[in-house]
Every structure is written in structure tokens, then in C-alpha cells.
């Protein structure tokens, strides 16, 4: 049905939508600033090597634009930060669209357009391993609707029934006559049609693009320096800013003496940013940073100057046994009674430190503020939240602001819930109206002002009955709640259920075992160090607590750790299946190479089931070598198996870097570590061989980017125990003596 | 005013003497493929070649350079992704976020000039770049594949 058949107001909406749909490139948006900038914007586009060519072609629908030359542009609302979901999401649209994959490209719609179009692209949030699993239904539907409209347009042109037409690879065929046409020929006509009321999605068994190990769409420019990251952005007339915020959490800026730096080369301005930071704006970033380093600044260090790792440790220790402010995350049976009646009990206390995300690309954002418009170019995991932050800082209605997303040089959760760098960039730009200003944090600023992996400790007590079965398990977590600081509205009656990730009774983060008497509690203790969502979040520590302690229990019971787990997993078949898969492939129960020892871990998290078996050796000097890790993952449906393998391998680098080196210690109310020399990340020479088993069992959609991180550390720690007889209950290992006991 | 030879072209540079080469490349010449990440010569994201050797450009002051030195950046490696490392990286889908990859490719390109078929031990000793996404195993495979592509090219 043609759009004008319905009503005028809807037609107008469609025209305006189409207008919005024209050109999603960075250069276009600059030209939208004001009429006078049109020439300038072309220069900007050239300078930027803008990712997309401008297109006048009307969209078929919000997800699909098809050019006359059959190029298929698929719109992606979530952000690409390395995890590969740009390609995965395009695969899902293309599967239903039945288009020629070799002609597929992608583009980001802006959050401002999303608002103007009644959130047609839904969520822009790229975290919680949600990119694929949170949008598979509506993006596939977007592809299916576009396919329907394209076929309808061809059928109308030929004056034949739609049912007589079929499509494959962007070519529509009228079966009775054998006539063919391509999507590119009918896309313009299709754009004039109304979408069908209903479409049917393919049966997974018929998928041709989903489930295939297709190559990423974003590789070429990452091999030759053409890929523009936020830190690389250049706009005409742009200035550069370097910033320093009070190094003590909660501290404020008192004074600075800009007379010392105003005459330094390139310096244009020295500005206060919010109440806690100062920025130097200069022609180049190096000039801005050089002047900032020379700027005399005095800080009001505020109330937290006495906070240290030691004082935080005391807070957490109190919480391990306290009766105050304790919430329950999961319970069944009667743990106290069962422990009292236990034939044998085992107790241990574990600890997990603060860690920085340390994305390779430091925080940055470029802002341009005028009295009636504010625009921000930035790498963000959540464009909509960046837009809200920009509008707030700009003091303008959200309709007068927009955010242009750029691929991220790493996210890991740092660029999702926190938009401090956006607010700062806008606050600076606001003091220099009409001038684009790029704010780039130094690595040192990035280390000092993270939103850190929260710190917790955990006391676990297990009790055996007289048959030697695990009858009771009491888990007491003490430490920081992310939600209490970041967004208390996400808590449930004052309880941060995310703290119990991996211990839930059911759902995406459910416990992998059935224990007759179970109690899992959290004593919330919130030190004044800002916590954040750090890739995989609370399962990182909870998997160590649970999986290492289960290993301790198995050894206390004189049982094999695999057999001990299996007995508790009768009601958890998918968890058991991934555990069995790694045990079998690793050769669990069979002798390893001399000196090599194995350890296991399994979790369900982000709706996926993952397990790992690590093989390590520890020499007489205490040197650890991680030789090999076998990993299994059941994500339900696996959209791109080779990218799942890449995420699994990468997850071990992230998880093992945390295990080996990851700690931010606190002194004088701030973080002691300042750069990669004292906050190292693992290198290629420490990387084990990784064998990945992708075993999608179907029927559900699980996350990929995070789950495997959780099994990295506990599998290795359990292998270290096997190798040395030493039970390591706190990380990182860099300062731990691993010499065999 | 200093003269430098970058990707085969002589360029005039007018910056403070202490400015690191990295920021000359990025902010004077628009060669942003060379990345800033640590600024202290550890992570390798800013790796370029000076007379064929891999150096961390974030700690090389421009005053220490002369126009006689051949400076090559990722943009100078090849314009069409035809370098064997780029071919191998493409074949194996090595990059994730991609931010560290130009530095890694430049590090390996320098290594393979003197050691065209590096062993795993050679790779361990020479590739000390940080990659937080964790592409190390594909990097290793990519290096071995590039060595093969090189051999095929010669035979």
C-alpha cells in the first residue's frame, strides 16, 4: 500500500523522516550546524576521511537504506567497541532482508534522530552483553519488513501478485515469467509504501547469514590508520583541551594561577570545569597538556583525604560478620541449622580489588556549543545517555543537542553509564562559544578518575553431612554496591541484586549448583571511591569466590573437583554440559604433561553458560606459566561463531590481566597507580593457547562479550592450587609468592 | 623550523623542540593512525619506524630527529592494505576495537624486516604492545600467516 493512501499527517512525518535519513556521516552533521558552514563541512569531511558517503536515497525503513547501485546500508543503534556486534547486528538484519551480504555497509543513526523519531531504533545502550540478545527480535523484524516492502514494490511495478515473487541475494524474481530486478531498482518505490502490519521471521534452521563465521565489516580501516577514533577527530577551527581534576575523590578545585601559562605557545584559554577541575585550551593538545603540567593549582582535598586501602579493608572486614545493613540475595533451607549439625565445616575469606578499565583510547569528547545548539562527537557505549549528559551540561533542551558516535578504542563498561568526559567537554566548549573543542584525557587522568571495578571481600562457610555431601553453604559478601552509587533507582527495596551476580536463584545470572541449605548475603559497605560497571561486572569476583571455594570443598571432602561439581549440578544441565565439554577436551582425569596441572570453573551469566579448564605450571622459583585454556560457551544462538571465539580469547586477556596485575590501591583518598608501568596489562608472551568450543544449544539468546571473563581467574587459581598446594584467596598475583608449599 | 622525512616526503615542522614526534604526526601532519595511549613509551600504540627500526614516537622529541632519517607511519606502510601483515590481519579478522593495531602492525613489520619468519619465542620477545581487547592469539597467527604470504610472494 502506498503511503499517501493513508493520511496527510503521516505522509508529512515520512517526508521529514526521510530528510533525517539523508546522510549519516560526520561531515553532514557539521553542515547541519548552520547554513554558513556548508563549505566548511566538506573540508571537515575530507579531513575526517568520513566513514560514509552522503546519500540522497530515501530509506526503505529505519534500519535499511538501499542505494541504486544495490549497496545496502544497515543502521546500527548500538556501539562498536571491538566486540563485533556491529557485524552481528548487520547479519541479523541482512538475514531477514535476503540481501547480498557483499554489498552491506553500516551507519550509526544519532541519538537526536532517535528521539525525533519516537525512539524508532530503541536502545543505544551497549553493555551487559546486550547488543545482540537485547535487540535480535526487532532488528530481524526491521530486515523482514524492508524485504516485504521491496518485493511489494517490484510486484506493483510488474503488476503481478506479490506471492508470485521470490527474492535471494538482493535479486527479486517473478517466478512465472522469470523476470528479475534488484533491490537497488525498486528501493525508491519501496520507500513510498507503508510497512506491512505483520511479518514472519525465519525459522533458525533456515538461517544463511546468522550462525556463519562471517568476517567483520569494520576491519579494513583498522589496518592502515584510516579508522577515526574520538581521539583522532579534527574539525575546522577546532581547539584542544587537556584537563586535570582533583586527584582526591570528592575534592574540589580551589585556585589556579593562569598568569604562568597564558603566554605559553598556543594557549587560548584556561577554564574552570565544574567545581573540581581545570582545563587548558590550546591550538594543539600537546600545547594544552604542556601548559596544564606547568599550571600551579591548589586543591581543596575535601573529606576523603584520609581514605586508604587499609581503611577500606577495615570497613570490609567489619561487614564480613556484621548484622547491620545486610541483605539477602538468595536462600533456601536453613543454613544456620545445617551448619550447626554439620559433621565438618570449611571456611575461607576471599578478596577482590579495585581495577581500572584502562581502555587503550583514553576518555575524550569533542563539543561545539552555541547559544541555541550543542553537538558532541564521542566514543560512547550509550549514545542516548551521552546526549542527555550533553544537554544537561549545555543548559539546552535535548531537541537542540545531538551526539555523533564514533567507534570506541575500547569500552569495557567505562563509556556506558558514565559521561563525565562528555559533560566536561561541553562545559569547556560553553566557555568558548562557536568553537569546537576536543577534550582528551591523559592516561594519568584516566587512571586517576575511573569508575572502578568495585572492591569486595567474601567469607564462605560450607558444611558436610555425615555422608560427606555438601549440605550447607553460607556466602557473605562485604563491600561496594555499584548501583547504590550509580543509580539507586535500579535497586530493589534497597537491595543491589547485581551484587549477587552468579548467585541468583534463577535468571540470567543464576547459581550453577543446588545446595540443600543456602544463604547468600551482602553487607553493603561503600567506600568513597567511585565504582562502575567493569566488563562482566560482579561475576568477576563472585565466580572466584564460588568456584575456588567449591574447589576447596572438593579437596576437603577428598573428592575430584569435577565429580564434586557434577553431583551438585543435576538440576543445571546446560551448566553441566559446558563443564563436561571442557573436561573432556582438556583430558581431565588423564595425566597432563609432567609439571602441568589443571583447574576448572563454570558459571551462568548474562544468560550464557561458560566453562574453562586451565593448564598451568609453577616452577621452583614461583614463576607461573599458563599453558592452555579450554573454554566452552553456550550462548543459545550463536550469530557469528568466529567472533564468539575472538571474544572468548579476548576475555581471557581481560580476565587474566586482572588476575595477574589488576589492582588500584588507594592512598590519601586517591588512586596510587598512574599509567601502564604500575598498572600493567598482560602481554603476548603470557598468553596461553586458547581452545574454544562454541556449543549453541538453541532456544535462547545469551551474551558473548563478558561471560568468559568470569571463568578465567578461578580456573587458573584452581590449577595453581593443584600445582602448588597453595590456595590463593586474593588477587592480583603479581605480589604473591607462588613457590610450591 | 625543522625538516623531517615522513613516508618518503620532506615536510616542514614548526613546533616547540620538546614536542614528541607522536604529536607532530597527529597534530601537525594529520597522520592520526599513530595513536596516543600511555605517553610514556610502554604500550606501543604510537609505534613508527625510524630508519626501519620500531620506536615509540610518544617519547621521541622532535629536536632529536633530522631530515636524513626515514620516518614511516602506518599510513606509509601501504595505501591499499597490500602489505602481507595487513593481508594476514584481514584474513584472520585480527582487530577488535583496533586502537592498538597500527602500533602492533608497525612493531611486527619492523621485526619481520630482519626476521622474516619469526618463531613464537621471537614474537614473545619483540611484540610487547598492550592490547586490552586481547587479540594476542590472532596476532600470533597473523604473524605466521604473513610470513607464509611473504614466502609465497618470493617463490
Domain boundaries, chain B: 2-77, 84-154
Question: Tell me, what's the pLDDT at A319?
Answer: 98
Q: Model confidence over A372-400: pLDDT tens digits?
A: 999 999 999 999 999 999 999 999 999 99
Q: Model confidence over A675-696: pLDDT tens digits?
A: 999 999 999 999 999 999 999 9
**B:88-107 residues touching chain A, CB 8 A cutoff:** 89-90, 93-102, 105
Strands (E), A228-296: 239-245, 252-256, 267-273, 277-282
When pLDDT is cut at 50, 70 and 90, the band that residue A636 belongs to is very high
User: How does the average pLDDT of chain A come out, rounded?
Assistant: 93
Question: Tell me, what's the pLDDT at B1?
Answer: 74
**A:370-409 residues touching chain B, CB 8 A cutoff:** 407-409
Q: Model confidence over A255-301: pLDDT tens digits?
A: 999 999 999 999 999 999 999 999 999 999 999 999 999 999 999 99
| Chain A residues inside the 8 Å CB shell of B133 | 82, 360, 410, 650, 653-654
> Into which CATH architecture does domain A309-355+452-724 fall?
2-Layer Sandwich (3.30)
Q: If one looks up domain B84-154 in CATH, what number appears? A: 1.10.150.120
CATH topology of domain A230-302+363-440: Aldehyde Oxidoreductase; domain 4 (3.30.365)
Cell numbers at A20, concatenated? 533525517
Q: B97 vs A407: CB contact, 8 Å cut-off?
A: yes
**A:427-456 residues touching chain B, CB 8 A cutoff:** 440, 442-443
Beta bridge partner(s), residue B49: B54, B72
Q: Which residue in the set A285, A412, A646 is minimally distant from B23, CB to CB? A: A285
Q: Which CATH entry fits the domain spanning A3-21+58-222: 2.60.120.10, 3.90.960.10, 3.90.1150.10, 3.30.365.10?
A: 3.30.365.10
Is domain B2-77 given the CATH code 3.10.20.30 in the classification?
A: yes
**A:642-661 residues touching chain B, CB 8 A cutoff:** 642-643, 646, 649-654, 657
Q: Which residue in the set B79, B95, B140 is minimally distant from A222, CB to CB? A: B95
Kindly report the nearest CA distance between residue B47 and chain A, in angstroms: 12
Q: B97 vs A240: CB contact, 8 Å cut-off?
A: no
Question: Tell me, what's the pLDDT at A503?
Answer: 98
Q: Is the preceding omega at residue A350 within 30 degrees of 0, hence cis?
A: no
Q: Which residue in the set B27, B127, B140 is minimally distant from A285, CB to CB? A: B27
Percent of chain A with pLDDT over 70: 93
d(CA A214, CA A132): 15
Q: A657 vs B132: CB contact, 8 Å cut-off?
A: yes
Kindly report the nearest CA distance between residue A652 and chain B, in angstroms: 7
Mutation test of the interface with chain A: which of B21, B72, B85, B133, choosing the one with the most A Cβ atoms within 10 A?
A: B133
Kindly report the nearest CA distance between residue A448 and chain B, in angstroms: 13
Instruction: Parse chain A into domains and list their residue ranges.
Output: 3-21+58-222, 230-302+363-440, 309-355+452-724
Q: Which residue in the set A265, A443, A651 is minimally distant from B39, CB to CB? A: A443
The predicted model gives A95-106 an average pLDDT of 98
Q: B37 vs A360: CB contact, 8 Å cut-off?
A: yes
Q: B42 vs A358: CB contact, 8 Å cut-off?
A: no
Sheet holding B9-13, edge to edge: B9-13, B2-6, B70-72, B47-50, B53-56
Closest-approach residue (CA) in chain A for B96: A82
Q: Which residues contact B107 (CB under 8 A, 6 or more apart)?
A: B44, B47, B54, B126, B127, B128, B129
Q: Which residues contact A606 (CB under 8 A, 6 or more apart)?
A: A128, A129, A133, A508, A509, A536, A702, A703, A706, A707
d(CA A29, CA B30): 21
Question: Tell me, what's the pLDDT at A309?
Answer: 98
Cell numbers at A412, concatenated? 569495557
Percent of chain B with pLDDT over 90: 95
DSSP state of A257: -
Q: The whole model's pTM is what?
A: 0.94
Q: Which residue in the set B45, B86, B128 is minimally distant from A223, CB to CB? A: B86
Cell numbers at A349, concatenated? 575469606
d(CA A555, CA A718): 11
Closest-approach residue (CA) in chain A for B89: A223
When pLDDT is cut at 50, 70 and 90, the band that residue A55 belongs to is low
Amino acid at each position: 500500500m502506498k503511503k499517501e493512501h493513508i493520511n496527510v499527517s503521516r505522509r508529512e512525518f515520512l517526508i521529514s523522516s526521510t530528510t533525517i535519513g539523508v546522510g549519516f556521516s560526520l561531515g553532514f552533521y557539521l553542515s547541519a550546524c548552520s547554513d554558513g558552514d556548508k563549505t566548511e563541512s566538506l573540508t571537515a569531511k575530507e579531513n575526517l576521511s568520513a566513514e560514509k558517503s552522503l546519500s540522497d536515497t530515501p530509506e526503505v525503513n529505519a534500519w535499511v537504506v538501499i542505494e541504486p547501485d544495490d549497496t545496502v546500508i544497515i543502521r546500527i543503534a548500538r556501539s562498536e567497541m571491538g566486540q563485533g556486534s556491529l557485524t552481528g547486528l548487520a547479519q541479523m538484519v541482512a538475514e531477514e532482508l535476503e540481501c547480498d551480504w557483499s554489498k552491506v555497509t553500516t551507519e550509526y543513526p544519532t541519538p537526536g534522530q532517535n528521539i525525533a523519531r519516537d525512539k524508532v531504533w530503541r536502545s543505544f545502550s551497549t553493555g551487559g552483553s546486550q547488543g545482540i540478545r537485547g535487540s535480535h527480535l526487532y532488528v530481524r523484524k526491521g530486515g523482514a519488513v524492508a524485504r516485504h516492502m521491496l518485493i511489494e514494490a517490484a510486484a506493483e511495478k510488474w503488476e503481478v501478485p506479490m506471492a508470485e515473487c521470490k527474492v535471494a541475494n538482493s535479486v527479486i524474481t517473478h517466478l512465472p515469467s522469470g523476470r528479475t530486478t534488484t533491490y537497488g531498482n525498486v528501493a525508491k518505490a519501496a520507500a513510498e509504501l507503508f510497512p506491512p502490519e505483520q511479518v514472519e521471521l525465519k525459522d533458525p534452521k533456515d538461517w544463511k547469514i546468522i550462525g556463519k563465521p562471517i568476517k567483520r565489516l569494520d576491519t579494513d580501516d583498522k589496518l592502515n590508520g584510516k579508522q577515526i577514533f574520538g581521539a583522532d577527530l579534527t574539525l575546522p577551527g577546532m581547539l584542544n583541551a587537556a584537563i586535570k581534576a582533583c586527584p582526591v575523590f570528592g575534592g574540589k578545585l580551589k585556585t589556579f594561577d593562569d598568569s604562568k601559562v597564558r603566554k605559553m605557545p598556543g594557549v587560548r584559554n584556561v577554564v574552570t570545569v565544574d567545581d573540581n577541575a581545570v582545563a587548558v585550551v590550546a591550538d594543539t593538545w600537546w600545547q594544552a597538556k604542556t601548559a596544564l603540567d606547568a599550571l600551579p593549582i591548589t586543591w581543596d582535598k575535601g573529606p576523603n583525604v584520609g581514605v586508604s586501602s587499609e581503611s577500606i579493608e577495615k570497613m570490609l572486614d567489619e561487614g564480613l560478620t556484621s548484622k547491620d545493613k545486610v541483605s539477602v540475595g538468595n536462600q533456601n533451607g536453613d543454613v544456620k541449622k545445617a551448619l550447626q549439625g554439620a559433621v565438618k565445616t570449611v571456611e575461607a575469606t576471599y578478596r577482590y580489588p579495585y581495577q581500572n578499565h584502562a581502555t587503550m583510547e583514553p576518555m575524550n569528547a569533542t563539543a561545539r556549543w552555541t547559544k541555541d545548539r550543542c553537538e558532541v562527537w564521542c566514543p560512547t557505549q550509550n549514545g542516548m545517555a551521552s546526549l542527555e549528559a550533553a544537554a544537561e551540561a549545555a543548559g539546552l533542551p535535548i531537541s537542540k543537542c545531538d551526539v555523533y558516535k564514533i567507534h570506541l578504542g575500547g569500552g569495557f563498561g567505562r563509556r556506558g553509564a558514565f559521561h563525565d568526559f562528555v559533560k566536561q567537554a561541553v562545559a569547556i566548549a560553553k566557555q568558548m562559544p562557536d568553537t569546537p573543542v576536543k577534550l582528551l584525557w591523559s592516561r594519568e587522568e584516566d587512571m586517576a578518575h575511573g569508575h572502578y571495578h568495585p572492591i569486595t571481600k567474601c567469607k564462605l562457610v560450607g558444611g558436610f553431612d555425615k555422608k560427606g555431601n555438601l549440605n550447607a553453604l553460607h556466602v557473605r559478601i562485604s563491600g561496594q554496591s555499584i548501583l547504590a552509587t550509580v543509580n539507586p533507582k535500579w535497586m530493589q527495596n534497597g537491595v543491589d541484586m547485581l551484587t549477587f551476580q552468579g548467585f541468583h536463584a534463577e535468571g540470567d545470572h543464576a547459581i550453577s549448583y543446588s545446595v540443600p541449605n543456602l544463604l547468600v548475603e551482602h553487607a553493603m559497605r561503600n567506600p568513597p571511591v567511585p565504582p562502575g560497571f567493569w566488563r562482566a561486572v560482579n561475576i568477576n569476583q563472585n565466580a572466584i569466590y564460588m568456584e575456588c571455594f567449591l574447589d576447596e570443598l572438593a579437596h576437603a571432602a577428598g573428592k575430584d573437583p569435577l565429580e564434586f561439581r557434577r553431583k551438585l549440578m543435576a538440576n543445571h544441565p546446560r551448566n553441566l554440559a559446558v563443564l563436561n565439554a571442557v573436561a573432556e577436551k582438556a583430558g581431565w582425569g588423564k595425566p597432563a604433561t609432567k609439571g602441568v596441572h589443571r583447574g576448572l570453573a563454570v558459571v551462568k551469566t548474562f544468560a550464557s553458560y561458560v566453562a574453562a579448564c586451565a593448564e598451568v605450571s609453577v616452577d621452583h622459583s614461583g614463576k607461573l606459566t599458563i599453558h592452555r585454556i579450554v573454554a566452552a560457551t553456550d550462548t543459545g544462538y550463536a550469530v557469528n561463531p568466529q567472533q564468539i571465539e575472538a571474544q572468548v580469547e579476548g576475555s581471557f586477556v581481560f580476565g587474566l590481566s586482572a588476575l595477574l596485575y589488576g589492582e588500584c590501591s588507594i592512598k590519601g583518598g586517591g588512586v596510587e597507580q598512574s599509567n601502564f608501568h604500575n598498572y600493567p596489562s598482560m602481554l603476548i608472551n603470557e598468553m596461553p593457547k586458547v581452545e574454544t568450543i562454541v556449543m549453541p544449544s538453541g532456544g535462547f539468546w545469551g551474551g558473548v562479550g563478558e561471560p568468559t571473563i568470569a571463568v578465567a581467574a578461578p580456573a587458573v587459581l584452581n590449577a595453581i592450587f593443584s600445582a602448588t598446594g597453595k590456595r590463593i584467596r586474593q588477587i592480583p598475583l603479581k605480589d604473591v609468592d607462588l613457590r610450591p608449599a | 623550523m625543522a625538516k623531517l622525512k615522513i613516508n618518503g616526503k620532506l615536510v616542514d615542522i614548526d613546533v616547540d623542540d620538546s614536542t614528541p614526534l607522536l604529536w607532530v604526526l597527529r597534530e601537525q601532519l594529520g597522520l592520526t593512525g599513530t595513536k596516543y595511549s600511555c605517553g610514556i613509551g610502554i604500550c606501543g600504540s604510537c609505534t613508527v619506524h625510524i630508519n626501519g627500526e620500531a620506536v615509540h614516537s610518544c617519547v621521541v622529541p622532535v629536536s632529536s630527529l633530522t631530515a636524513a632519517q626515514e620516518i614511516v607511519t602506518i599510513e606509509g606502510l601501504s595505501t591499499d592494505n597490500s602489505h602481507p601483515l595487513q593481508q594476514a590481519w584481514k584474513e584472520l579478522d585480527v582487530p577488535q576495537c583496533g586502537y592498538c593495531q597500527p602500533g602492533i602492525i608497525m612493531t611486527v613489520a619492523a621485526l619481520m624486516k630482519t626476521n622474516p619468519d619469526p618463531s613464537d619465542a621471537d614474537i614473545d620477545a619483540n611484540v610487547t604492545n598492550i592490547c586490552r581487547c586481547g587479540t594476542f592469539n590472532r596476532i600470533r597467527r597473523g604473524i605466521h600467516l604473513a610470513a607464509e604470504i611473504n614466502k609465497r610472494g618470493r617463490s
